[in-house]
């Protein structure tokens, strides 16, 4: 059995936001393998997320963020279950990180279920036409379309994006880690992002 040091526990805590006992247990179960322990806690975070997903979240914060001397502005509403958590430093920090993420990556949707069917159909058509124009064999076109749709979702769905400070995890995993340590359901309700000089859909229409 590997020796579990406080340094290992500290490293795991910083990476996951999980409690000391959870970190020690995960390290013991993985025989001191940090990566395996991290995977174990991420899976646990997902389990916690699904357990708490049904709980009502109507408290929280509307986080405002301005970047590049006012060239990009973001407003994001992040909800939790209690006012106590809504005022906590950990929750406020998460809301701020989400605003930074949105400013940097310009997502269009929060979850993949938010993408309209017409958008997916349009992306499917583009990928299909491109593959045929390039002379790809007919039998591999469905696989090409699948890869193209996945790439689109990874780029434009906030929860699927790689977290800007640690690309080994997604924004969903970042939220799950915070959910594990904060102990309440966390919901990203809505967001808006403006960039100076950008034209709105109304103007373009």
pLDDT at 25: 85
Separation between Cα atoms, residue 106 and residue 161, nearest integer Å: 10
Tens-digit pLDDT profile for residues 154-183: 999 999 999 999 999 999 999 988 887 787
> Which architecture characterizes domain 59-111+157-204 according to CATH?
2-Layer Sandwich (3.30)
- The set of residues, in sequence order, having a beta carbon less than 8 Å from that of 194 and lying 6+ positions away, is 72, 73, 74
According to DSSP, residue 31 is labeled: T
Domain parsing of the chain, residue ranges: 6-52, 59-111+157-204, 116-155
Q: Tell me the HSE value of 84 on the side-chain side, using a 13 A CA sphere.
A: 3
Burial of 113 (C-beta count, 10 Å sphere; 0-12/13-18/19+): exposed
Query: Helix, strand or coil for residue 69?
Result: coil
Which residue, among 188, 120, 178, has the nearest Cα to 149 in the 3D structure? Answer: 120
pLDDT at 115: 93
> Which residues sit opposite 163 in a β-bridge?
166
pLDDT tens, per residue, the chain with 205 residues: 678 888 888 887 766 666 677 788 888 888 888 888 878 777 766 555 555 556 667 789 999 999 888 899 999 999 998 889 889 999 999 999 999 999 999 999 999 999 999 999 999 999 999 888 888 888 898 899 999 999 999 999 999 999 999 999 999 999 988 887 787 888 999 999 999 887 655 444 4
Is the CB of residue 77 less than 8 Å from the CB of residue 189?
A: yes
Query: Helix, strand or coil for residue 78?
Result: strand
Distance, CA of 130 to chain centre: 30
CATH class belonging to 116-155: mainly alpha
CATH of 6-52 given 3.10.50.30, 1.25.40.10, 3.40.350.10, 1.10.8.10 = 1.10.8.10
């Amino acid at each position: 059995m590997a020796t579990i040091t406080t340094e290992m526990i500290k490293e795991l805590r910083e990476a996951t936001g999980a409690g000391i006992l959870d970190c020690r247990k995960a390290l013991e179960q993985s025989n001191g393998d940090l990566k395996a322990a991290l995977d174990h806690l991420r899976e646990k975070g997902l389990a916690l997320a699904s357990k708490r997903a049904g709980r009502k979240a109507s408290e929280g914060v509307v986080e405002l963020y301005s970047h590049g001397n006012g060239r990009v502005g973001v407003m994001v509403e992040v909800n939790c279950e209690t006012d106590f958590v809504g005022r906590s430093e950990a929750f406020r920090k998460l809301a701020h990180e989400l605003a930074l993420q949105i400013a940097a990556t310009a997502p269009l949707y929060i979850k993949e279920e938010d993408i309209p069917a017409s958008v997916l159909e349009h992306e499917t058509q583009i990928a299909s036409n491109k593959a045929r124009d390039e002379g790809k064999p007919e039998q591999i076109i469905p696989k090409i379309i699948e890869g193209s749709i996945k790439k689109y979702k990874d780029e434009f769905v906030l929860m699927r994006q790689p977290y800007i400070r640690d690309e080994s995890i997604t924004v969903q995993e970042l939220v799950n880690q915070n959910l594990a340590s904060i102990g309440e359901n966390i919901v990203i309700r809505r967001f808006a992002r403006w960039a100076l000089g950008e034209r709105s859909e109304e103007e373009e229409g």
